[in-house]
Every structure is written in C-alpha cells, then in structure tokens.
A and B are shown apart, each in its own frame.
Chain A
Amino acid sequence: MKELVLILIALLVASFIVSMPRSDEDWFLYMGELRMYEMSAEADTLKARSLIFARSWVDRWLTEVNATACEELPPPPNGSLFVQLLKKDLISKGFSLMGDLHYSIGESRGGDASDPAFGGYCRGGGIKVIASSRLTIRDGLLGIKAMRYFDAGACQPTAYFLIREVLTGLRHRTVGIVREAFSSEENFTEALQEVERGLTLLVRHLRRNLTNEGISLKLAYTTKFAGEEVVLNFRAMVFDERAIFIRDGRLRRGFSCIREWEIRARGS
C-alpha cells in the first residue's frame, strides 16, 4: 500500500513537469540559440567541405586519365556546383547561401603546406588546388549571418604535371634525335644505330632524375620501312609509384601515363 502511494505521488510530480506551460519568450530564445549552433555547424565546416569536394573532384579526374596519354591539364573543381548543392540543402533548413567559391589549379612545389582536410602532401610536379571562398550563410527569420572568407591551399601528391612535362619533352627530344641522325647519315642502318645511341643516352639521363622522385620510365619503339621513308613508332610509359588517389571509396597507389607517337624520316 505504501509503495502504491509513493508511485502515485511520483506520477503526479511527473505529470506536473510534463504539463508545465512554457513561455513563448523562452521558446524563441531557445530556438534562436539553437539556430546559431546550427549555423555555426554549417559555416565552420565550409572550408573542410570545400576541400573534401576538391579532393573528390581531382581524384575522380585522375582515375579517368590514369593509363592514358595525359596530355590535358587538370580541370579546376566546379565551385558553382559546390555552391548549388549546398544552397539546395541549406534552403531545406531555412538558411540561404550567398557568394561564391572559386578554385584554381596549378603545379605544386615540394615543401609547401597542404591543408589536412584535403589530405596529401606537396611534392614537386604534383597538383596544387587553391579554394577561395566568399560565402555567407544567412538566416532570414532571425537576421543572423555567418561569413566565411578564406583561401585554402592543398596538394594532390600524384606528380601529374611532372609526368606530363617528361612525356612532352621526351617526344620533342626523340623528334630531334631522329631528324639529326637521318640528316647526318646517308645509310639507314647507320642512322638507326645513331638513333638507338641517342635514345639510350636520353632515357638514361631522364631516369637518373626521375628515380629520386619514385618515377620510372620505359621507352620502346619499332621501325618499319614505307617506301623511301622509315617510320618509327614510339611508346613511352611513365609510372609514379608514390601517386595516391581515391577511387570508389578506397585509396589507390600508383599512376601511369602512356603516350604513343610516330616519327617519319627520310634518308639524306
């Protein structure tokens, strides 16, 4: 009987707390405070989120160009797309987003600082991304706003720019070697031997510089005669063993570029 009375008293107290009327003033105060916390969560993660977006963009592009000729330059992440996605999400929460986010891409230098939200590190010939934000989140109802103006720099460690430069240089140098050999030698066999010697020296020189960067180079070519011409088909492969990029939610190591070209030569 005593327990039952205690239980009834407890229930009475509980129902009093539950049905306690709240003041509207308090309610708005609390809601305003809560909106500030929510806005702060949105605004204070803008920098990290812009860099996550950039990393995803660059790594997706690297996945597409892996094992191709690597002739084009990396496209900068689409800042408008980032803003558009965020705007849609913020509108559903009662906020509005103004301003813009701009990205630029360039070649990284070793030793520069890379923002930890992007991951990676700066390496000579890698990809550098700079995110410049002039974004403002506004709560129309309460009239509060959060401005986030920042410039954040980060590096993708895949030495894409270096590889591209090596392959472009290699192509130009082989053209020079072949032209020179065929202009100085009348005999095709001797000219081809001269080409072989020139290419061996060139590849040895390039490998010496690239090995320290964890990059390997393979150059192969075939020759065939087409009438009075000699056709040399080149195939070069550059492999970066220190390259790291995210594909399908996993970290992948190793990036390669393969370029093929043809040089036609005529005896002098």
Chain B
Amino acid sequence: MKWLLAALISILIVSYALVIPTRVHPGWQVEWKAKACSDLKKTVNELGYRILLGQSGQGELVNMCGGEKGIYYCVLIPGTSPPRKMRVGSP
C-alpha cells in the first residue's frame, strides 16, 4: 500500500513538474514547435506527390488542423481532394 501510494504521488509530481511548465515556458514550446516545423518541411518535401496516394510519413493528413495550444504545425496541401492539411506533431 505504501509503495502504491508513493508511486502514484511520484507520477503526480512528475506530470506536475514537467508537463505543466512546458505550457508556461515559451522557450520549450518554441523548441518543440520548431522541431515540428522542421519535420513537416522534411516530410512534405520528401513525400511530394506520394501525399496524393495517402502517404503521410511521420505526419498525418487531416481535414482540420486543431487548436493553437498543441506542439505541432500544419500546412495546406492544394491538390488533395477535398484540400487537406499535413500535420506533424501532437495536437
């Protein structure tokens, strides 16, 4: 019981101490979002026309991009029908 309690509280601390500050400290967000942007560039340029075949590499083809808070970035892919967006990162 003591170990279970300790484990649960540890998880709480870890999530509190690590996850929440990333929403607060913009420097970390920038670093993660910058990586998402860079991965997105690589994905779109490498896949090229294969996106029309439904391939998305490390990204995901979506209809809507989502909110502004996530660590991700999307670009519109004209030519897909209906026009869809390539998203890299987690919303």
| Chain A residues proximal to chain B, CB less than 8 Å | 3, 7, 10-11, 13-15, 17-18, 20, 22, 26-27, 30-31, 33-34, 37-38, 40-42, 44-45, 48-49, 51-57, 59, 81-82, 85-86, 89, 115-120, 246, 249-251
Contact = CB atoms under 8 A, between A and B. Distances in A.
Contacts of A82: 78
Nearest to B86: A45
B34 A33 contact: yes
Interface of B is mostly: helix
Interface of A is mostly: helix
A195 B58 CA distance: 62
Contacts of B51: 52
B71 to A, nearest CB: 11
Interface string B25-40: 1110110011001101
Nearest to B26: A30
Nearest to A39: B37
B50 A56 contact: no
Contacts of B54: 249
B27 A20 contact: no
B81 A56 contact: yes
Contacts of A34: 26, 29-30, 33-34
Contacts of B24: 18, 20, 22
Nearest to A248: B81
Interface residues of B, number: 39
22 contacts: A3-B6, A22-B25, A30-B26, A31-B30, A34-B34, A37-B30, A37-B33, A38-B33, A41-B73, A45-B75, A52-B51, A52-B77, A52-B78, A52-B79, A56-B52, A56-B81, A57-B79, A82-B78, A89-B85, A117-B45, A117-B48, A246-B52
Contact of B44 (A13, A27, A38, A49): A49
Contacts of A44: 41, 45
A41 B41 CA distance: 5
B76 A86 contact: yes
A15 B85 CA distance: 38
Contacts of A116: 48
Nearest to A51: B48
